[in-house]
Chains A and B, each alone.
Chain A
Amino acid sequence: DVKVTQSSRYLVKRTGEKVFLECVQDMDHENMFWYRQDPGLGLRLIYFSYDVKMKEKGDIPEGYSVSREKKERFSLILESASTNQTSMYLCASSSGQFTGELFFGEGSRLTVL
């Protein structure tokens, strides 16, 4: 069964802390994505990656960075967390051949105090 695993379901951090959100997929997918989900706003794309060490900005990259050192792992980094980054973060992956299906993890709910 396909699986996208996000390392932390719930995190509470303080303003200014550096935050790492980890995502691992076991489907050998080329593409990986980080979305932010907020009520009334749906999902907004933060960053995506088409290959190892490659990344592209999505619609809301400010305040975030990403790392993809291995094909199966895609990390989202908040260099200095702020309260407006309190949100649900969803990781997704898809195969390099476009099928239209994204496979999502269960999400990481981040609270920044």
Chain B
Amino acid sequence: AQSVTQPDIHITVSEGASLELRCNYSYGATPYLFWYVQSPGQGLQLLLKYFSGDTLVQGIKGFEAEFKRSQSSFNLRKPSVHWSDAAEYFCAVADFNKFYFGSGTKLNVKP
């Protein structure tokens, strides 16, 4: 069965520091992978997606993610975090139109 694991529930980084959020998935075929962000009191917004091809994908707001098939991972990165990046981040895998979300990682940003 498809599943997504985000091992970090909370992460705190200083503003300007680099960020990496971890995501591992379980999926039988070539996965469609996504990162969504949820700001407080808001719905989710798509940050980036991977379907095929280049394993390093660029998204909005300066985020990128790397697909590593051998590790079943799709980690999200940002070289320099801004205070406005404080939010909850969800990794997801899609089986056509059915999406399976991880439990989320809450990012706090210290001034």
List residues of chain A with CB under 8 Å of any chain B CB. Answer: 4, 31, 33, 35, 40-45, 48, 50, 58, 90, 92, 94, 98, 100-102, 104-107
Q: In the complex, which residues of chain A have a beta carbon less than 8 angstroms from the beta carbon of B90?
A: 42-43
Residues of B within 8 A of A (CB): 4, 6, 9, 32, 34, 36, 41-46, 49, 51, 90, 94, 96-99, 101-104
Interface contacts beyond A50-B97, A102-B44, A102-B99: sample of 10 additional A-B pairs, CB < 8 Å, sorted by A? A40-B9, A40-B103, A42-B6, A42-B103, A43-B90, A58-B98, A98-B97, A100-B32, A102-B36, A104-B44
How many A-B Cβ pairs are below 8 Å?
Answer: 54
Q: Is the CB of A43 within 8 A of B101?
A: yes
Task: Tell which of A31, A90, A100, A106 touches B49, judged by Cβ atoms closer than 8 Å.
Answer: A100
Given known contacts A90-B43, A102-B46, A104-B43, is B102 in contact with A42 (CB within 8 Å)?
Answer: yes
Name the prevailing secondary structure of the B interface residues: strand
The distance from the CB of A87 to the nearest CB of chain B, in whole angstroms, is 14
Offer 10 A-B interface pairs, CB within 8 angstroms, sorted by A: A31-B97, A42-B4, A42-B6, A43-B44, A43-B101, A98-B96, A98-B97, A100-B32, A106-B41, A106-B42
Residues of B within 8 A of A50 (CB): 97
